[in-house]
């Protein structure tokens, strides 16, 4: 199955690097929303569905969720915690529309990382990302027969990465972040990249606009117990950031 009617996706925006180094701890909180395209394969047991949808496809019926980031920094050191809920849904049809698959996925991700500024504006970090995923896939054949499978999985991915901040003016900055993870410990492999424009319109408040790409490849089990989640997400994100 290669085409689809619609898919809603919501994901995360990672908080951009904040103020310059300070002797005291600086704290930032950023709630945000991400609307993204979805491309990949999801399956439980022998019921597997392909997903290939652009960002425009999701506008007809977009699901939203809440997510947020907390970041604390002092001198060269920083700590970041990111919490995400993603509610995903899709209806896929095969050639001629004879076969249909309904996919429902709920995902919770919690990431914690510690960073160190090795060069001016360049920070490297390492941490863990916990994923909890529940998926239900229902495939309906041309004769109306439906096969349904569902499963729940949770795993932890170690991650390493870096982010770089580029000041554009007193109020504007561009931040670029990337990380890789999994390494077969949780996911077989996972990576993401984020580019964020930050507008600091007040001393303690700013706005964020970003584009994010995330990919994860997770497989576990065999036969009817197999759980497969090989998926990428990409799209724009918007958020606000409060500094205290």
Quote the pLDDT of residue 21: 54
The 3-state DSSP class for residue 144 equals coil
Geometric angle at alpha carbon 6, from 37 and 150, rounded to 5° = 90
Contact between 27 and 70 under an 8 Å Cβ cutoff? The reply is yes
Residue 181 pLDDT: 97
Fold classified for 3-243: Lipocalin (2.40.128)
Q: In the prediction, which pLDDT does 190 show?
A: 97
Residue 4: its pLDDT value, please?
35
pLDDT along the chain (244 residues), means of 10: 34 46 85 82 80 62 69 95 79 65 80 96 97 81 74 93 96 96 97 96 96 93 87 89 95
């Amino acid at each position: 199955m290669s085409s689809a009617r619609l898919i809603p996706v919501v994901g995360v925006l990672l908080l951009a690097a904040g103020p310059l180094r300070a002797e005291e701890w600086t704290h930032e909180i950023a709630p945000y929303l991400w609307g993204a395209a979805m491309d990949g394969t999801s399956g439980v047991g022998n019921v597997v569905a392909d997903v290939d949808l652009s960002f425009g496809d999701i506008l007809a019926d977009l699901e939203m969720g809440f997510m947020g980031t907390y970041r604390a920094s002092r001198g060269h050191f920083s700590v970041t915690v990111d919490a995400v809920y993603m509610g995903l849904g899709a209806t896929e049809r095969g050639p001629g529309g004879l076969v249909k698959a309904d996919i429902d996925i709920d995902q919770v991700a919690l990431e914690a990382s510690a960073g160190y500024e090795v060069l001016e504006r360049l920070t490297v970090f390492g941490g863990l990302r916990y994923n909890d995923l529940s998926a239900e896939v229902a495939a309906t054949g041309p004769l109306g027969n439906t096969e349904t499978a569902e499963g729940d999985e949770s795993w932890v991915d170690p991650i390493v990465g870096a982010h770089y901040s580029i000041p554009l003016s007193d109020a504007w900055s561009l931040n670029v972040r990337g990380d890789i993870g999994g390494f077969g410990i949780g996911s077989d492999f996972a990576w993401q990249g984020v580019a964020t424009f930050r507008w600091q319109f007040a001393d303690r408040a700013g706005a964020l606009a970003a584009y994010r790409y995330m990919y994860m490849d997770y497989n576990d089990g065999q036969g009817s117990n197999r759980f497969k989640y090989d998926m990428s997400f990409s799209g724009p994100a918007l958020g606000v950031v409060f500094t205290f």
